[in-house]
Structure 1
Amino acid sequence: MLSIKTLSDTFVGECWISVSCCLLLACLYVGSLYVWKGSLPRDHPNTIKRRFTSVLCVSAVAPLVVLAWTHSMKLRPSPPLWALLGIRLEGFVPAAVLPLTLTMVLFLGPLTQLAVESPRGLFHDVKAGLNCQSWSKRVKDLKWLRNHVVAPLTEEFVFRACIIPMLVPCTGPTSAIFISPLFFGVAHFHHIIEQLRFGQDTVFDILICAAFQFTYTSVFGVYTAFIFIRTGHLVGPVLCHSFCNRMGFPAIGSVLEHPQKSLILLFYQLGVLLFFILLFPFTDPTFYGMSPVCSLLLTPRSACT
């Protein structure tokens, strides 16, 4: 019969393996951005194309790391690997619609501000944004592809779909929601390298910006990790990530000087209130089926339901 100390040592060893695999993926993702020689800025087409290649290669390797991890941990999860990574058909439509709708509710204030400031009206802007010519122009824009397709897809795949399953058996789903975004937040510190290289702002300003970005990306990571675990789908976090990249951080300062400040602030508050009211109902696992990540738990945890 195994002693409590032996079981504890085994658990610690397994958790060390899990954390090491998570760190490996985070380092691979960030490191892949700097394997190319050259001093071009991040928005240069050549830099963007090279980094597309890098992160897509890391995304292809990441499932193999998860697969190797399951073997080293002697885990035999009941769902197949792709389902474990959030790629499955069951509950796909609500997983694509409900989290995105929830995120749009949170951005009700900024969306209202855009509608108020639209010179041609919100309906005209939406219609123009949905036509084929507009989409054709976007997909040819490398910066748009990076911000709205490649970055959301690869970052959510690596930092949510691949890292969270490796954390859950050791930490449980609730702790994984708050731990996994730390890898995501730290990964964004690499922007400091480019800002220092090209002499953008002072060192102090760069560090303040990096600290703010770490906080913002970590909070966002908590949200998308919550969605991933609750829904068991990758599509929701990817769409929410893309939408948030499109919206950017809410410009509260401009709202305070806006002629219709009272109306916009009302919708800001309404959006936050409705977000917290709808957070759990819109991510209710009954819409999506049993989350495959929860199959990794030795005992059922209420946080998965």
Structure 2
Amino acid sequence: MLEPEHGPKMQVEHTRTRCWVCVLSCLLLACLYVGSLYVWRSSLPRDHPSLIKRRCASVLLVSALSPAVVKVWMHWAEVKVNASVWELMGVRLEGLVPAAVLPLLLTVVFYLGPLVHSAMDNPEGFTGELQCALDVQSWMLCVGDAVWLRNQVVAPLTEELVFRGAMLPMLVPCTGPTAAIFTAPLFFGVAHLHHIIEQRRLHQDSMSVLLVVSGIQFLYTTVFGAFTSFIFMRTGHLVGPVLCHSFCNSQGLPDISSALQHPQRFALLFSYLMGLLMFLVLLSMLTDPFFYGAIPVCSLADPSMSAC
């Protein structure tokens, strides 16, 4: 729990200061994360293996420093809880297995439509999709691919550690659990706007097109950030958001327009709808804190605010 302050006026002033420092700390982490991508001056495209390796090293370093930022903030804000910084950031053992399996299952359910779509377009159907997913040789090739490693391993791990694991524990004492779920993704969405710089540098599109694309990207990254923030607050684990992030990166955005033009569009649209409905039904059940034990980050919330 947070240590009480003496006097209501002093308490209000300290709370306001704490909130400002919290926001500035989150902004600092976001700037450090994005800024680390540009410490390497290069004319190479973002998917060049050499540039990917350098940038991965940069964001891994920033991610490694994020627990120190949380620790310093806790010391300054005089936050006292019976949990370590790592536990507050979702790195813990209690409830680890369900935290890894259930949120990922929930995300797979949401992608029912795209998965059915992919199976329909595969000449070997669902069997071919399953064989492809379990093919060891294909996985070995992926592990050696710098783009795959960035998209499926480094980006999910580092982004979730910084934008969920580090930011949410700092936001919860200030905003409460519910508001923190919708506040942290704003930093995540803004952090993705740096792609405008790269695309503009390569002269791939006009500025108006880049702004529209970036606006759409900001929207869906913010919505996705709210989802993984919700997972983090409900489970108290980082592993679920990381695995969900990796899976979503592998699938991309659901292609509704392609489904509408498909010869079997009615069956496809039904699978898209069923996936969405089952996701909404299972969202609360599969993230029930009962499966995950006591959630350390919830101990940071003021007792008067809504529980996790």
**Runs (4+) of structure 1 moved beyond 6 Å?**
none
- The reply to whether residue 199 of structure 1 matches residue 193 of structure 2 is no
Letter in structure 2 aligned against 1:177: I
1:79·1:292 contact (CA, 8 Å) conserved in 2? yes
* Structure 1: tracts of 5 or more residues without a match: none
Give CA-to-partner distance per residue, 1:5-63, whole Å, 9 cap, x none.
Answer: 32211110011111111111000000000001111110011110000110000011111
Structure 1 counterpart of 2:186 = 182
Q: Which runs of structure 2 are paired with 1:22-41 in the superposition (5 Å)?
A: 22-41=26-45
Following the alignment from structure 1 to structure 2, what is the Cα–Cα distance between the partners of residues 122 and 14?
53
Give CA-to-partner distance per residue, 1:273-301, whole Å, 9 cap, x none.
Answer: 11111100010000001111011123164
- The reply to whether residue 219 of structure 1 matches residue 234 of structure 2 is no
Instruction: Find the partner of 2:155 among 148, 151, 154.
Output: 151
Following the alignment from structure 1 to structure 2, what is the Cα–Cα distance between the partners of residues 62 and 193?
25
Structure 2 counterpart of 1:120 = 124
- The reply to whether residue 208 of structure 1 matches residue 212 of structure 2 is yes
Structure 1 counterpart of 2:300 = 296
1:59·1:157 contact (CA, 8 Å) conserved in 2? yes
Structure 1 counterpart of 2:47 = 43
Q: In the TM superposition, what is the alpha-carbon distance from 1:188 to its structure 2 partner?
A: 0.1
Give CA-to-partner distance per residue, 1:238-297, whole Å, 9 cap, x none.
Answer: 010011111101111111110000000001111111111110001000000111101112
Structure 1 counterpart of 2:18 = 14
Q: TM-score, normalised by structure 1?
A: 0.97
Q: In the TM superposition, what is the alpha-carbon distance from 1:231 to its structure 2 partner?
A: 0.2
Following the alignment from structure 1 to structure 2, what is the Cα–Cα distance between the partners of residues 103 and 63?
27
Q: In the TM superposition, what is the alpha-carbon distance from 1:120 to its structure 2 partner?
A: 1.8
Structure 2 counterpart of 1:232 = 236
Structure 1 counterpart of 2:246 = 242
Q: In the TM superposition, what is the alpha-carbon distance from 1:3 to its structure 2 partner?
A: 4.2
Instruction: Find the partner of 1:285 among 273, 289, 293.
Output: 289
Following the alignment from structure 2 to structure 1, what is the Cα–Cα distance between the partners of residues 175 and 268?
41
Following the alignment from structure 1 to structure 2, what is the Cα–Cα distance between the partners of residues 137 and 63?
33
Letter in structure 2 aligned against 1:192: I
Structure 2 counterpart of 1:76 = 80
1:173·1:303 contact (CA, 8 Å) conserved in 2? yes
Q: In the TM superposition, what is the alpha-carbon distance from 1:2 to its structure 2 partner?
A: 4.3
Alpha-carbon RMSD across the aligned residues, in angstroms, is 1.2
**SS of the counterpart of 2:307?**
helix
Instruction: Find the partner of 1:59 among 57, 63, 75.
Output: 63
Structure 2 counterpart of 1:136 = 140
Instruction: Find the partner of 2:171 among 151, 167, 184.
Output: 167
1:29·1:58 contact (CA, 8 Å) conserved in 2? yes
Residue-pair matches, total:
304
Following the alignment from structure 1 to structure 2, what is the Cα–Cα distance between the partners of residues 126 and 278?
24
1:294·1:300 contact (CA, 8 Å) conserved in 2? no
Q: In the TM superposition, what is the alpha-carbon distance from 1:121 to its structure 2 partner?
A: 2.3
